[in-house]
Amino acid sequence: MAGLEHTTLVEVNFESTSDATKAVVEESTATMERLTLSTAKEESSCSGAGASLGCASLPSDPAHSSSEYFSARIQSIVESKSEFETALDAEIEASKGHWSELPPGSGAQGCAEADMELFRRLQEQYATPDGEHGFFSDWDEDECEVGEKIAEGGQGAIHELRWLRPEDAHGNGKLVVKVFKLEGWSLEALHQQWPPAMLHKILITSHDPEKRVYGGDGIAPVGKGVMLKDGRFGFVMGRFWGDLRTMIDRRMVHNGNQAPPFSIKGSLWILHDIAKGMLQLHTDGILHRDLKASNVLILPMMWKFEERGAYGKYDSINDDEFLVCIADYECSVAVCGTKFWRAPEILLGVKNRDLQPNSWTKKSDVYSYGMTCYEVLTGKIPLENLRPNDYNVVIEGLRPVIPNDISSSIQSLLARCWHQNPVERPSFEEILKELEKNNELF
């Protein structure tokens, strides 16, 4: 069908593919064609909740939506904007399609008494030598409060931390609390999700208040664990602008859903810095298990240097001066990853219901990194036209198609990252070396 080149998101060798896989791909392509025809309407207006996503004219007919960067998901985000009262509601709804998956029955409902008993033990274990509470600290309601919700994910929500004392007011807007959802989670269950290597590093640095934080170059720091008065647990963290996926979505809407969200040089720097953060996690003995653009945070340079009046303000559409930091590693042990960011060996375990703790490896993180690269380079989520349980087609070798204008060296790197055989995937050290050889980076 003319003007629908963008619907072919996948490449399959049909000579060596099962009939079931052929049927899924054919149905998915037909579904994408229907989506394209139904969503390529008259120019969208920018008002209400959708205004925060950026304003642009989206394709008015299928022939104008033939860009390799066109995304039916982005089109849907724009067209559903009027259904939500606020921009935040619209963005949270859009994010639900790539929320992390948790195993059923991962934790029992918390018992307040048992949770507090465990919290006190953790305070003692991680206390500073002078007996003061270290990483795990009491929540002082006279000092601060949990403020407005600014983001939400599968495990919890991000809230502003508001200081109540006038002398502390200058710190408002600089910290957040990641509050974990109470339903179905005891503190013991949450405790089992915290990477042992992260806890060990916090423990050995507990004598030094300045180092009593886990983090690093390219890693979003986790500063403190707190038990709120209502029984919920939270991590206190530095505030970032938002996540990389939200930035991508806003830029894709702004550019009319017809071009990539970043320049090639900008994309390569993002990929480089994500790889750098992942190398640090792996060096520290931490597997992420759920790497994707929505688990990468944006720190504007103007915030980093705290220019007068700049903190809290940022033009996510036009300002390319920002750092990226890996997040959501701090509760990764029980996470099952997200849809088709997951490696085929993980999807096979999900399909057969036999995932084991050792199913995740550094090489499965590398696979997810390859899919995250695809997000950055194209603006689309991996295999967005497949149904959530179409595991077989990926297990049998299906991968996203990379636009032709991406250099052969980057295409080759992505192909290695999402190689069917984990052994053939590069390490993050090798990825960094490969990226640093690319002339387009500089």
The answer on 207 and 72 residing in a single domain is no
Asked if 251 contacts 241 with a C-beta cutoff of 8 angstroms, the reply is: no
| The pLDDT of residue 371 | 98
CATH of the domain at 177: 3.30.200.20
| The pLDDT of residue 376 | 98
d(CA 316, CA 302): 12
The answer on 288 and 419 residing in a single domain is yes
The answer on 224 and 255 residing in a single domain is no
Question: Does the CA dihedral 370-372-377-380 come out positive or negative?
Answer: positive
d(CA 33, CA 62): 9
d(CA 370, CA 425): 10
CATH of the domain at 341: 1.10.510.10
| The pLDDT of residue 23 | 47
pLDDT 10s per residue in the chain (442 long)?
333 333 333 333 433 445 544 444 444 444 333 333 333 333 333 333 344 454 444 544 444 467 899 999 999 888 887 777 677 777 777 776 766 666 554 445 557 788 889 999 988 888 777 666 678 888 888 889 999 998 887 778 899 998 888 877 777 778 899 998 766 568 888 888 888 888 888 877 665 655 555 667 789 988 889 999 888 899 998 889 999 999 999 999 999 999 999 999 999 999 999 999 999 999 999 999 999 999 999 999 888 766 545 566 789 999 999 999 999 898 878 778 899 999 999 999 999 988 888 899 999 999 999 999 999 999 999 999 999 889 999 999 999 999 999 999 999 999 999 999 999 999 999 999 999 998 777 6
| The pLDDT of residue 99 | 65
The answer on 234 and 125 residing in a single domain is yes
The answer on 326 and 198 residing in a single domain is no
CA distances from 6 to 38, 66, 359 (A): 15, 6, 34
Question: pTM for the complete prediction?
Answer: 0.81
| The pLDDT of residue 153 | 79
Domain that holds residue 228: 112-238
The answer on 166 and 62 residing in a single domain is no
- Which residue from 81, 393, 179 is spatially nearest to 382, judged by alpha carbons? 393
- Which residue from 395, 400, 397 is spatially nearest to 414, judged by alpha carbons? 400
Within 13 Å, how many C-alpha atoms sit on residue 42's CB side?
1
CA distances from 190 to 120, 124, 237 (A): 15, 18, 17
Question: Does the CA dihedral 282-284-290-295 come out positive or negative?
Answer: negative
| The pLDDT of residue 167 | 79
Q: How many domains does the chain have?
A: 2
410 occurs within a structural domain = yes
User: Among the three residues 178, 213, 238, which one is the final residue of a domain in this structure?
Assistant: 238
User: Among the three residues 204, 238, 272, which one is the final residue of a domain in this structure?
Assistant: 238
Place of tokens 């970032």: 240
129 occurs within a structural domain = yes
Q: Please state, as a whole number, how many other Cβ atoms lie within 10 Å of the Cβ of residue 181.
A: 13
